[in-house]
A and B are shown apart, each in its own frame.
Chain A
Amino acid sequence: MSGNMNLTLKVWKQKNKDAKGALETYQVKGISPDMSFLEMFDVLNEQLITEGKDPIAFDHDCREGICGMCSMYINGRPHGPVKGVTTCQLHMRSFKDGDTIVVEPWRSAAFPVVKDLAVNRSAFDRVIAAGGFVSVNTGNAKDANNILINKDDADDAFNAAACIGCGACVATCKNGSAMLFVSAKVSQLALLPQGQIEKEARVLNMVNQMDEEGFGACSVTGACEIECPKGISLENIARMNREFIGANATKK
């Protein structure tokens, strides 16, 4: 088919967490502009397997932009050059025939490389476990809409809850800071009446866990907000700062 592309890929290869990695160069031919970036990697991996070589390890799951697994740093940006998408929703039409594309894993002390492009993001899980929950009584389910919630707060909570925990914010931040992620997870609960019981402990514990995992501090460059595939706003970080100041001021 005409319009298909030949590309040069420079991909990070690293055997395991402790091994020293390096960029390796690959050629792919006849790539359709309609393919997703991950499908292009499938083509490359099939080619590598046929040649008897080690395929490239990369994370992916839903391939419809909602799970947050695909974590590639493409030409210096998380999820590549298109705004508001994950790698699976990035299509090869965003590139030109003959392009050289550099693909690296997320770089963060808190996200150790498992193999090649796959990193371990369980630091995020531990941050969630530290306080990203609400306590409810067991028993019959309550009537929906039993508790009235201000429309603006409900909207803000929904927008914060859109975070898929992909880690693009950490990957792009010059400080490797997880502030956008943690603040979204603090905000989605702090904005709602159901989240008030653990309000103070939540922000203190989640910030504490965030620091312990080795994420950096916020320099307010705003890079995270631009690169977030779900458009999580910096307003959440300001809200977490307020929550943190308030919790420190009122804690017993």
Chain B
Amino acid sequence: MSKENFLKASLGKKLVMGITGLFLITFLVVHVSLNACIFVNDGGVLFNEGAHFMSHNFFIRVMEIVLFAGIFTHMIQALILTLHNKKARPVAYAVNNGAANSKWYSRSMGVLGSLLLIFFVVHWANFWIPTKVAVFNGEEHNTFENMKAVFSKEYFVAIYMVGVISLCYHLLHGFPSAFQTLGLNNKKYTPMLKTAGAIFSIVVCTLFAAMPITMYLGIIK
């Protein structure tokens, strides 16, 4: 078998999903850590310093390209796998009791991922594009004020809540499952990974959710 066949195999495709998924998880750590700077409540001084570093550092700029490559690979591979999986069951069951043997979110990764994609489009339009425009024009972008403006609107807060909840369930299944796909499953580490994954998903998503809420309520100003 050639290298080409590795990615043609269903196991190879799942491996790509697992590796890109874990990479995207490491990005979330960076993203949530930096954004959590707003909770210092210093009018965004610390946060804007961090945001300035992120939009001007060479290494981060390169990683941004890798990040987008990771996101799109994860998405395209998911689409290919979903189409392949749909073909594997051309006739649906009249009665299917999925709840009897699996979690709803483990069966809904495609739907959750699609919700995340819609959220990302809004999210990029809100923050990523204005930052890029400012950097391109050589202006200083006040990301903190940008956040306050976006999160003053109820509908954006609502969209961000849907995004964060989708992310939480996507991670709850994706985090431990990525390790299973990479071949790690034993009686000692798997329960630990599941617990770590659940804690990670809930902590990261609670922090993300707290940002629009505290800004909307005027707690962070």
Contacts and interface: CB of A to CB of B under 8 A. Distances in A.
Interface of A: 10, 12, 23, 73, 75-77, 81, 102, 104, 107-110, 172, 174-177, 204, 207-208, 210-211, 214-223, 226-227, 234-235, 237-242, 244-245, 248, 251
A241 B88 contact: no
Q: Contact size class for B?
A: 35 or more
B73 interface: no
Contacts of B184: 238
B180 A237 contact: yes
Given A23-B94, A75-B95, A223-B98, A238 B185 contact: yes
B102 A222 contact: yes
Given A76-B97, A104-B94, A226-B101, A215 B88 contact: yes
Contacts of A174: 85, 89, 98, 102, 107
B9 A239 contact: no
Contacts of A109: 87-90
Nearest to A175: B85
Contacts, number: 137
Most buried by B among A12, A107, A221, A234: A221
The list of the 8 closest CB pairs from A to B, nearest first, reads A76-B97, A238-B185, A242-B183, A176-B88, A216-B88, A175-B85, A220-B177, A226-B101
A107 B92 contact: yes
A2 B186 CA distance: 50
A77 B106 CA distance: 17
Contacts of A222: 101-102, 106
Contact of A210 (B10, B103, B106, B109): B10
Interface string B86-117: 01111111111110111100110100000000
